[in-house]
Chain A
Amino acid sequence: GENNETTDVNENAGNNNAENNAENNENNDGEEAAEGDFSAKMVTDTGGVDDRSFNESAWEGLTTFNEDYPETEVDYIQSDDSADYQPNLNQLAREGTDITFGIGFLMLDDIRTVAEQNPEQNFALVDDEVLDGDDEPVDNVANILFAEHEGSFLTGVVAAMHTETDHVGFIGGVESPLIEKFRNGFEAGVNYVDEDIEISSQYAQDFNDPNQGQQIADSFYGNDADIIYHAAGDTGNGLFTEAIDRREGGEEVWAIGVDQDQALTEGEYSDGNVILTSMVKRVDQAVYEVAEMTMNGEFPGGETLEFDLEDQGVGIAETQDNVSDEALEAVEEYEAEILNGEIEVPQTEDELEEFLADL
C-alpha cells in the first residue's frame, strides 16, 4: 500500500542513479525478502519478449534487476494478440505481483481497467500515460515515457553530418503519434545541421513487412538518398537488407537503427556493418529503476517519468565504429544545447514546422 501523491516528473526522474540506489538498498532488501519475495513481472505486447526491441529491452531490465537482487522474482507473460493484454495483466495482478509492467502503449486501456479493478496492486506502463475518466492520473499506475524525439534528433545530426548526397530518408511503421515523434525529431536534427538536406519519408503502414521496407529503401536509395533511419520494427529489416545489398554492390549507403543498438544483431556485410548508428531507448534502465523504486517503497504511482537525454533514457548507440569524430563532436554539442534548453526538439508536425521556420 504505497500511496504517492503526484510529484514533478523531472524531479523524480532525475533521481536515477541506478548504481547508487542498488547499493543503498542491499540492506533493505533482506527485510523485504523475509516478508516474502519482491516480485516484478511484465506483460509483453504482441512482439514477444525477444523482439529485439523494447519488449526484449524491458526484459533485460528485469533480468538485470534480478541479478542485482537475487531474492526477487521476475517473470514475463507473452501476449499473442491484443485481446490477451487484459487477461495477462490480470493474471499477474492476481498472483500478487508487486509491480506489473505493461510494455507498449497498446496496453494503455487494459492497464487502466485492470488497475482500477485491482487498486491494491502496482502497475507501470511503458510508452504512454494512463489517465482515468476525468483525465487524472491513476494512483496505482506509474507511467514511463521516453523522449524519442530527442534521441532521433541526435541520429538526425549524425545523418546530416554523414550524407554525401544531401538527401536522407525515414521509414515509419504504422503512422501514429508515437512514430511521429521519431520522424519529427529526426527531421529537426537533420535540418538543424543543414537546412538544405532533403528528407524523404514514408510509412509502410505495417510493422511486419520487410519486403515493403526493402522496396521503400530501394526507392529512397535509388533516388539518391544515402542514409535512411527507420522506426518500423520488422519492416526495418528490409531496410538493412537493401542497404547490405547496395553495400555489396559498392554503393556507399547507410542505415540507422532504432530502439536498441541494432548494429549488434543486424546490418553485417562482408566488409563491415551498414548500420551507421542507432537511436537507443533505454527501456531496460527505466524498468529497472521503477522496479527498484517500488521495492524500496517509493513506487511512483500516478506519476509520469519521462526518460530523456538528460537521464540517458534515450541517445545514440554505443557502437560508434562508423560514426566520424566530427559527427560525434556535433552530437555532443547539440546534446548539450538540448540539455540546457537552447534547443527545444519538436515532437509533433506543428512543432516541427515552427522549429524549421525558426532556423
Chain B
Amino acid sequence: MIRDFLRSRAFGLVVPLIAVAFGLIAGAVIMLLSGNNPIDGYSGLIGGIFGDMYYFGETLRAMTPLILSGLAFAFAFRTGLLNIGVEGQVIVGWFAAVIAGISWDAPGIIHLPTALMAGALAGALWAFVPGILKAKLHVHEVIVSIMMNYIALHVVNSLIRGVFLDTGQRTAFVPDSASLSSEWLQGVTDFSRLHWGFLIALAAAVVMWFLLWKTKKGFEFRAVGFNQNASLYAGMNVSGNITSSMSISGAFAGLAGAVSGLGTYGYIEIFNTFTNLGFDGIAVALLGNSSSIGIVLSAFLFGGLSEGSGNMQAAAGVAPELVEIIIALIIFFVASSYLIRWIYKRLDSIRKGEK
C-alpha cells in the first residue's frame, strides 16, 4: 500500500508541495530570527503575486522567459547533456531577435515570426558549438558552454555598443510589427507587461513534451542520452543526435531571450552582467523535474516569488534576498525527496504500530 503510494504519480506531486511548504517554513524561521514578522512578510509576498491583476500579470510576464530557459536546460538534461550555457544562448537569442526586429520592415505576420526564428536560431547556433565539440571530439560540454556564456556577453555587448546603439545603453525599439507586446493582455492585467510570449512559452512546453515523448527523434534523443553505445548499436546517429539535441536546447534558450527582447523590453541593452535568466532556468528545470508541466509550475513559483519579493520589501521591510533563500531551500527539499519519503514511511509505520 505505502509502496504503491510512494511510487504513484500523486506522490510525485506531493513531494514538491511538501518541499514548498518546508521552504516557506524555513523562510519564516529566518524572518523570525532576523526580527521580521513572517506573517507580514508573507502577506506582502502573496499580495505581490496575486494582490491584483497587475501583479498577477507581472508574475506571468516574469515566468515567461523562465519557462523557456527551463525547457532549454531540461531538454538537454533529458538527453544526457548538461547545458550550463543556457545563459549565453539567451543573450544571443535576445540580440538576434531584436536585431531582426529593428533592421528591416515587414508586415507583422512575417516580421514577428522571423524575429522569433532569428532568436531561436542564434541560440541553437550558440549551443551547436559545445554540441559538435562534444559529439566529434568528446570535449566536456560543461566547460565549453561556460566559456560560450562569456563570449556571448562580450560579443553581444560590443556589437550593441559599436553598431546598434541608439540612446543610453540600448538599441532602438523594435517596431510594432516585430513586437510581442499586446495591448489587450496589458489591458486585462492593468498595464502589466504581460505579452504574447507567454503563450509561446506554454506552447514550447507542449512542444518539448511532444518532441521527447511522442516523436521518433525524441526516442533517439533519450536513447543517446542514456547509452551512446547501445544507440550506436541500434543504428542511431549518435553524434548527430548529440549535436541536434544541444541545438534544440539552445533554440529554446534563444526563444527565452527573444521573448524578453520582443515582449518585455522591446530592445536589447548593454548587459552589465549576465541576465541570470539562463542560470535561473537551470533551477527551474531541476525543480520541475525536467518535465514540461513541472517546468511551467516551477517557473510560476520562481516568477511569483521574485515578483512578490518587491512588495514584500515594500510592505514588510523584508530584504528581497529572503526569496532566494526560500527558493534554494525548496530545491533542496525537492531534491531530497528521499527524506520526505522516509518521513512519510516512518509516520505510516508509527500509525500502523498504534493500531
Pair B310/A91 contact, Cβ less than 8 Å: yes
Contact between B191 and A117, CB atoms less than 8 A apart: yes
B310 A105 Cβ-Cβ under 8 A:
no
Of A79, A81, A87, A88, the most chain B CB neighbours within 10 A belong to A87
* Closest partner residue, chain A, to B306 (CB atom): A80
Cα separation A108 to B306 with both chains bound (whole Å): 22
Interface stretch, picked from A2-10, A56-64, A183-191, A201-209, is A201-209
CB distance from A73 to the nearest CB of B (A): 12
Q: Would you give the shortest CB distance from A84 to chain B, in whole angstroms?
A: 6
A232 to chain B: closest CB distance in Å?
11
A205 and B157 within 8 A (CB): yes
Check B272–A174 contact: CB distance below 8 A: yes
Closest chain A residue to B57 by CB distance? A87
On chain A, the number of residues with a Cβ less than 8 Å from chain B's Cβ atoms is 32
Kindly identify, within residues 235 to 267 of chain B, every residue whose CB is under 8 Å from any CB belonging to chain A: 260, 264-267
> What chain B residues lie within 8 Å of A86 (beta carbons)?
193
B258 to chain A, nearest CB (A): 15
Question: From residue A126, how far is it (CB to closest CB) to chain B in Å?
Answer: 13
Q: Say yes or no: A109 contacts B161, CB within 8 Å.
A: no
Nearest-CB distance from A90 to chain B (Å)?
A: 7
Residues from chain B with a CB closer than 8 A to the CB of A106 are: 168-169, 269
B298 within 8 A of A: no
Q: Which residues of A contact B260 (CB under 8 A)?
A: 83
A204 to chain B, nearest CB (A): 11
Q: Mark B136-149, 1 if CB is under 8 A from A, else 0.
A: 00000000000000
Docked CA distance A175–B159 (Å): 12
Q: How far is the CB of A75 from chain B (nearest CB, A)?
A: 7
Q: Which B residues touch A84, using CB under 8 A?
A: 310
B220 within 8 A of A: no
User: What residues of chain A lie closer than 8 Å to B266, measured between beta carbons?
Assistant: 109
A176→B267 contact, CB < 8 A: no
Q: Is the CB of A78 within 8 A of B276?
A: no
* B103 at interface, CB cutoff 8 A: no
Which residues from chain A contact B276 at a C-beta distance below 8 Å?
81
Contacts of B269 in A (CB 8 A): 82, 106
- In the complex, are the beta carbons of A208 and B272 less than 8 A apart? yes
Are B311 and A108 in contact, CB atoms less than 8 angstroms apart?
Answer: no
Does any Cβ of B come within 8 Å of A14's Cβ? no
Q: Decide if B273 touches A208 in the complex (CB within 8 Å).
A: yes
CB of B113 closer than 8 Å to a CB of A: no
- Chain A residues, Cβ within 8 Å of B231: none
Which A43-63 residues have a C-beta within 8 angstroms of B?
A: 46
- Is B313 an interface residue, CB under 8 A from the partner? yes
Docked Cα-Cα span, A354 to B123, in Å, equals 43
* CB pair B169 A176 closer than 8 Å: yes
Measured in the bound complex, the distance between the Cα atoms of B269 and A174 in whole Å is 12
Given A86-B193, A87-B310, A128-B168: A174 touches B320 (CB 8 Å cut-off): no
Indicate if B185 sits at the interface (CB-CB under 8 A). no
* B62: interface (CB < 8 Å): yes
Give every chain A residue within 8 A of B272 (Cβ-Cβ): 46, 173-174, 206-208
Inter-subunit contact A87/B320 (CB<8 Å): no
- Cβ contacts under 8 Å, A46 to chain B: 272
B-contacting residues, A146-192, CB 8 Å: 173-178
Whether A177 contacts B168 by the Cβ 8 Å rule is: yes
Q: When the two chains form their complex, are residues B167 and A108 in contact, meaning their CB atoms are under 8 A apart? A: yes
Partner of B270, one of A80, A87, A176: A176
User: Assuming A83-B264, A106-B269, A207-B272, is B169 touching A174 (CB within 8 A)?
Assistant: yes
- Flag B152-177 by CB within 8 Å of A: 1 or 0 each: 00100110010000011110010000
**B residues near A117, Cβ cutoff 8 Å:** 191
For B306, list chain A residues within 8 Å (CB). 80
CB of B161 within 8 A of CB of A75, answer: no
In the complex, are the beta carbons of A90 and B169 less than 8 A apart? no
| B54: interface (CB < 8 Å) | yes
B157 adjacent to A77 (CB under 8 Å): no
| CB within 8 Å of B: which A119-139 residues | 128
Is the Cβ of A176 less than 8 Å from the Cβ of B314? no
Query: CB of B336 within 8 A of chain A?
Result: no
**Whole-angstrom CA separation of A88 from B48 in the bound complex:** 11
In contact, B54 and A90 (Cβ under 8 angstroms): yes
Q: Which residues of B contact A205 (CB under 8 A)?
A: 154, 157-158
Find the A residue at minimum CB distance from B157: A205
- Whether B313 lies near A105 (C-beta < 8 A) is no
Which of B168, B192, B193, B313: most chain A CB closer than 10 A?
Answer: B168
> Interface code B275-288, partner A: CB below 8 Å = 1, 0 otherwise?
11000000000000
Q: Indicate if the CB atoms of B168 and A88 lie closer than 8 Å.
A: no
Q: Is B87 an interface residue when CB atoms closer than 8 A count as contact? A: no
Bound-state Cα–Cα, A109 to B267, Å: 10
B17-32 residues with Cβ-Cβ distance < 8 A to A are none
Report chain A residues within 8 Å CB of B265. 109
Q: Which are the 5 A-B pairs with shortest beta-carbon distances? A: A117-B191, A87-B58, A105-B168, A176-B169, A207-B272
Q: Please give 17 more A-B residue pairs, beta carbons under 8 A apart, in addition to A86-B193, A207-B272.
A: A81-B276, A83-B62, A84-B310, A87-B58, A90-B191, A91-B310, A91-B311, A94-B54, A109-B267, A128-B168, A176-B161, A176-B168, A176-B169, A176-B270, A177-B168, A206-B272, A206-B273
What are 13 sample pairs from A and B whose C-beta atoms fall under 8 A apart? A80-B309, A80-B320, A91-B311, A94-B54, A106-B168, A109-B266, A128-B168, A174-B270, A205-B157, A205-B158, A207-B273, A208-B272, A208-B273
Interface residues of B (CB under 8 A from A): 54-55, 58, 62, 154, 157-158, 161, 167-170, 173, 191-193, 260, 264-267, 269-270, 272-273, 275-276, 306-307, 309-311, 313-314, 320
Q: Which A positions have Cβ atoms within 8 angstroms of B? A: 46, 75, 77-84, 86-88, 90-91, 94, 105-106, 108-109, 117, 128, 173-178, 205-208
